[in-house]
Structure 1
Amino acid sequence: MRALIVHQVGPGVAVQDLGRPGFLAVGLTRGGAADVLALHEGATLLGQSVDRAALEMVGTGGTFEASEDMRIALTGAVMSAQIDGETVAWNASHAVPKGARLVVGPTRSGAYGYLHVGGGFETEPTLGSRATHQSCGLGALITAGQTLLVGQDKRRDIGMTLAVPPRLSGGVVRIVPSMQTMDFDADIRTRFEATTFRRDPRANRQGIRLDSNGPGFSNPSALSIVSEVIVPGDIQITGDGTPFVLMAESQTTGGYPRIGTVLPCDLPRVAQAPAGAELQFEFLELEAGAQVQARANADWAKLRTSVTPLVRDPATMQDLLSYQLVSGAVSATHSDLDKG
């Protein structure tokens, strides 16, 4: 039986995949990984389909044992990791021999880390997905003592890494107009775009609260809307003027006005912003936003072209001569250390 045995685990570890599209009309948001790009990165490092389920880890990971030889990849928020006591690199793929223990420790940067296995985790699917949707009661958090079944893996390549675009410490997030954007006064929209927000500690997979200095962003004329459909990425403004960015497990309808909607390709940046990280929003017209999203989709689809060996072979390095291979060397017969 191919499996990963859970000896110890953090409080927020759950199986996640791309979620459950197509159920919005019956009150179920897609859910799935908070950082979808991390799923693409893990699949690329292991050379498998992005549909494979992974473990999403918040704050800390746990201690896991491989029942058979298997491959893993680590992506998303950077966390400490060791295989049988030996530190291993993040954003890379590794071998975990049969009986070896993988220890994933606390988060060093970002919010959501991901553990991928060759073959993916094969928990029982519900409504076409293995994703844990806590707010709807689908699936449950991983607990110590569990044995997580792992699918068959025909590949053997390991030791690959990816250069990860910066998204673990906040930054600029692009948004497009939403249904109520123009209901907000022009000066409020301008001030919203010019404001540097801080990610509030009060955040989860349903939504992230944003703090800022100065007055809130409520607009009396936008407070009387009828409850209507909402999606992850919508930025709701509550009655006291506080913005909330809705995330993977947001509700399906709501009555708070939305000042804008985060582009799906930038939602991982919001998800990965640690408490206190600064976020700033930039409005794009709908057509420009669609072009940005299309380029991001294309970049995600060709991630495999960016994979490189974790340890490069000098025989295949075309840029070898650009490295200062003798930097710091001293002469054995004319060393500056002999002076003085």
Structure 2
Amino acid sequence: MTGTVTIRKAGPGLSLQDMGRPGYLVHGVSRGGAADPLALAEGAALLSQSPDAAALEMAGMGGEFTADRDLRIALTGADMRATMDGAPLVSNASHSWPEGAVLSIGAARLGTYGYLHVGGGFVTPKRLGSRSAHLGAGLGTLLDDGETLPVGTDAGKTTGQVLTPDPRFDGGALRVLPSLQTDFFPADVLERFEATEFHRDIRGNRMGARMNSDGPGFLTDGGLSVLSEVIVPGDIQVTGDGTPFVLLAECQTTGGYPRIGTVLPCDLPKVAQAQPGAGLRFHFVTLEQAIEAETRARDAVKGLRSKVHPLIRDPRDMPDLLSYQLISGAIAGNEEI
């Protein structure tokens, strides 16, 4: 441990998240982890560290924080209004966090889940190989005012970097693979499912999101014969009233509702980040198309560091302006002339 971060004020859905706990499904624990894992990879690229480092996940609103030593940070995911001692900070960028400065992160302007990364990551004790809070499994809890989080050793030094995020914050098209129960739904219901624009319901959490639409539901008589079986994030369950629910990172491990399809993992952040009312459409793809899409997405994540570039900052918004030694540079320039 090389420092700590203190939570002065915690937003309503503040938790520590990493890439989750793969391998425990057989024991009744879903993978969990960040609702938007791409945001973890983006933060890692901005700070030149491992995407396995734990970050603070902020659902809808952030909070107020201080650090007991100078740190590097990155802000990714949802666009949340952030300031450092009152000076605005750019989203999807890395910044210096001076010891004692107050970092304030407000409500999301676009998207749902924002992430606060620190150089070295948060290094709380691991449970089942992860630092993620998994509320449904009773592993960890939401964070509250006054809590202190330890920070690991930071091998990097660079800040003032920015990254254009993958667009995923205002809904859009979702690619879907057929599931074991897709054929239970009549052809006309499947056609209407693809042709319908859904809107994310205000009711939703890390377990799943309800999809609202106009018109009748998406019922199937075959759903009455479905036995409870393994389910995973991305599965689209259709409840008894014909309403689709898209399962997210912290979903249960088994379920008996029929699954009309499964959203590809690379498109699932669009569901997690969609604000209530955002429009979403589903489109079935073949297994070959799904593999191609997932391969492209993984290659894009691997190449994120090459997409990072320096942030052009407004001097009026730079509390550390004097550290850049602008005057000495000007004198050197005059001497050369």
CA contact (8 A) 1:132 1:138 kept: yes
Deviation at 1:11, TM superposition (A): 1.2
- Structure 2 counterpart of 1:231, which letter? V
CA distance in 2, matches of 1:144, 1:183: 49
Deviations 1:266-285 (A, max 9, x none): 00000000000000011101
User: Any residues of structure 2 matched to 1:97-116 within 5 Å, and which?
Assistant: 97-116=98-117
Aligned 1:197-276 pairs, distance under 5 A: 197-276=198-277
Instruction: Give, in whole Å, the separation in 2 of the partners of 1:240 and 1:140.
Output: 33
Q: How many residue pairs align between the two structures?
A: 312
Q: CA deviation at 1:202?
A: 0.8
The alignment partner of 1:189 has SS state of helix
Amino acid of the structure 1 residue aligned with 2:296:
R
- The one-letter code matched in structure 2 to 1:176 is L
Deviations 1:242-290 (A, max 9, x none): 0000011111111100000000000000000000000001110112111
Mapped to 2, the partners of 1:196 and 1:62 lie a distance apart of 34
CA contact (8 A) 1:223 1:239 kept: no
Matches within 5 A, 1:14-93: 14-93=15-94
Q: CA deviation at 1:76?
A: 0.3
CA-CA distance at 1:94 after TM superposition: 0.1
Deviation track 1:79-132 (CA, whole Å, cap 9, x = no partner) reads 000111100100000000111111111111100000000000011110000000
Partners of 2:37 and 2:248 in 1: how far apart? Answer: 12
Specify the code of the residue in structure 2 equivalent to 1:28.
Answer: V
SS in 2 for 1:40: helix
TM-score when scaled to structure 2?
0.91
Segments of 4+ moved more than 4 angstroms? none
3-state SS in 1 of match to 2:266: helix
Contact kept? 2:184, 2:221, Cα under 8 Å? no
Q: Please state whether the residue corresponding to 2:225 is helix, strand or coil.
A: coil
Unpaired runs of 5+ in structure 1?
313-340
Secondary structure of 1:154's match? coil
What's the counterpart of residue 322 of structure 1?
none
Question: Could you say what the CA RMSD is over the residues aligned between the two structures, in angstroms?
Answer: 0.9
Aligned to 2:289: 288
SS in 1 for 2:74: strand
Q: Which sections of structure 2, spanning at least 5 residues, go unmatched? A: 314-337
Percent identity between matched residues is 57
How far apart are the structure 1 equivalents of 2:224 and 2:279?
A: 27
Cα distance in 1 for residues equivalent to 2:36 and 2:181: 26
Q: Is the 8 A contact 1:81 1:87 kept in 2?
A: yes
Shift of 1:223: 2.5
Q: Which residue of 2 aligns with 1:145?
A: 146
With the length of structure 1 as denominator, give the TM-score of the two structures. 0.91
Look up the equivalent residue of 1:191 and give its one-letter code.
Answer: R
Where does residue 298 of structure 2 map in the other structure?
A: 297
Q: Partner of 2:94: helix, strand, or coil?
A: strand
Instruction: Say if 1:14 and 1:142, in contact at 8 Å, map to a contact too.
Output: yes
Asked if the contact 1:207/1:244 (under 8 Å) is kept, the reply is yes
The equivalent residue for 1:163 is 164
Alpha-carbon shift at residue 209 of structure 1 (Å): 0.3
Secondary structure class of the residue paired with 1:223 = helix
- Aligned letter for 1:302? G
Cα pair 2:36 2:272 within 8 Å, conserved: yes
Alpha-carbon distance in structure 2 between the residues aligned to 1:134 and 1:223: 30
